[in-house]
Structure formats: structure tokens, C-alpha cells
Amino acid sequence: MNDGQDPPERPAGRPAPAPGRPVRTPGRPVRAFVLGGGGALGAHEVGMLKALLEAGLRPDLVVGTSVGAINGVMVAADPRAAAIERLADLWSGLGRAGVFSGSLLERLGTAVRSGTHLHTAGPLRALLETHVPAGRLEDLTVPFQCVASSIERAAEHWFTEGPLADAVLASCAVPGLLPPVRVGEEHFLDGGLVNSIPVGRAVDLGAREIYVLQVGRVESPLSPPRLPWQVATVAFEIARRHRFARDMAGLPPEVTVHVLPSGAPAGEPGGALRQLRYKTFGRTAERIERAYTASCRYLDGLHDGDQPPGDGPRGDEARGDEARGGEVHGDEVHGDGPSRGGGLPGGGLPGGGVR
């Protein structure tokens, strides 16, 4: 279903891309949107996408992990600001329609019957099939790839073509919450286990202008676990941040990366289990608006600093007197500023990594 609006057609004269690979737009670098995981906090990515699309920044490539695969496939299907309303509707459905809801007794019943997970994948599959008109990855308007973790091979696996719902469900099959997804002869779990913020994949595919949408506060220090169930969360977060820092440090000099600010307040709950409790989806609208405001401020800062504003018209909504975001020229980072190895709270990185 697409609410009566057909996705935009590929511009005349541009060849159809190989599955999951971008088509270069003359006159500018290949632009990619990279969407990381984050459970219910993935609502922030909706606000970031709204700001990007209103600024006329259309992607040539979208790559996603976990909940970022859900958001990413929606924008790859229709990379227009008008599509954000449908994405917001999808997020409203995540807290309803039995996707991550249900009583404690129902969830315990699912866990007892399955022995491995609290929720079934059926409601999420139905929600995806309702909101995304394309049935296969290669039919999307913008080339899209998402990552999942192969159980049999203990390896990173990238979906570039095939049934859309299978690929996205595999990418967001959080262990313990959703069942492993079988595709062909393999079973897959959440892509965040192997690549939570896949900047390197976008670079490998030719992207040179990258916008990272990630919702974990990678610049904030971690605290030692105090409870048994916090140990795994802290261990995962260490691995996630280490991979992201390594990818950023290894960027080629011709690549520019912008890590959009989420606008999330300090102390936003973390951990997969907490992020996917149905009550946390009640703050979806607030998270979208926070990220939208923060990302507009950042993008307006780039525009004020004579950075390219994008390919199309800016949105009609007034931005008020919002403060400027981070600005990057050469080897310097101004504004929010990153810390070495800790990611960026909202800044750009040209030429070679975290500075």
C-alpha cells in the first residue's frame, strides 16, 4: 500500500543499477545514508530523514542495520519528504498491532513455546508488507542493502536482492526478542551483532558523501555494569563503538562523513531489551521531533558555511532562530566536536577519520 502515491520514477537517461549498487549522479559525489540500529530509539532516525529530505539531500544509496533497515527501506522505496508521514505511521504501528506489545503473560507464553524469543515475527512482517509497496529489494527506487548475522557461518551477510520483508526481518531479528529468520538454507539474527553502523559498507560501494543516522550516544562514556543483565549490553556496546571508531579512522581522504545529532537527552535508556519494550514506543513523536530539530540545525549550519545545500528545494517549515550545527573545513571540526575513537555527536569528517 502506498496511500495513492506512486514512488518517484528513475530520471530519464540514468541506467538501472545493479542490485544494491548506486548510480552516480553527475556533478557530485555518490551520496549515501547509513542507518544504524537502536530499537525504539530508531524513531530518532525518522526525524533525521525528514530533515535530510526537506533539505533536498536525496541519497544515491541507502544501507541499514537492524531498526535502521526498517527506516532505510522506507526511504529507499520513496526518497521524498512526503514519505516521512508514512514512516511515522509505521512507527506508530510498532507500538501497536502486536509487534512489540502484548501482556507479560502472552510474551512468557511465546517464550515457553519457542524456547528462544518473546515475540513472533508475523506482526512485523505484516506491517512491512503494508507500508512498503515494493516486494523485492531490487525494485526499490534507491539502491538499498541491509546486513544480518548468519548463524551457520558466524559471518556478516549483506542482502542486496530478493524478498524485501525477509531481508529486513533478518536484519532486525534481535536475539531473545524475535526468532531467527530463515532465508534459503541459512538462519539470520540482528545485523547489529556484526555491523551496527555500516559506514565501511557505504565506502566500499563508492559513497564519498555519507550521512550517518545513529541513535546511540557513542560520545558518552559507558558505566560498569551493576546488574547481571547489564553485562551483555555493556559488552555489545564496547564492540559496537570499537567497530565504528575503527571504520571512521580508516576512511579514505576523499570521503566526507556527517554524523547527524539525534537530539536525544542524556540518560535515554539503552539496551535492546529496554529499547523494545512496548511502553517505550509511546515517545515516538517526541523522538522524531527532537531529532528533526537537531538535524535541521546541523544542516542549516552546513548551508550557512557554504557547503552544498543539496539537490532539491528545502522544506517549507520555518527553522526559527536555531543555533548552527557543526561545520567542517579541511582537517578541522567545529561545533559539537568529536573525541578520538568515540564517534561524533553531530559533525563531519573529511579526509581520513576521527580527529
Distance CA(159)–CA(246), nearest Å, equals 23
Distance CA(203)–CA(197), nearest Å, equals 12
Long-range contacts of 249-252 (CB under 8 A, 24+ apart): 249/341, 249/352, 249/353, 249/354, 250/200, 250/353, 251/199, 251/203, 251/349, 251/351, 251/352, 251/353, 252/203, 252/352
DSSP class of residue 221 equals P
Catalytic residue among 66, 149, 171, 262: 66
> How many CA atoms lie within 13 Å of 109's alpha carbon, on the beta-carbon side?
5
Q: Is 204 a catalytic residue?
A: no
Catalytic residue among 60, 190, 247, 300: 190
Which residues have C-beta within 8 Å of that of residue 161, sequence separation ≥ 6?
19, 20, 136, 137, 138
Distance CA(142)–CA(59), nearest Å, equals 7
Q: Which residues lie across from 294 on neighbouring strands?
A: none
Q: Is 66 a catalytic residue?
A: yes
C-alpha cell of residue 34: 547509513
Active site residues: 66, 190
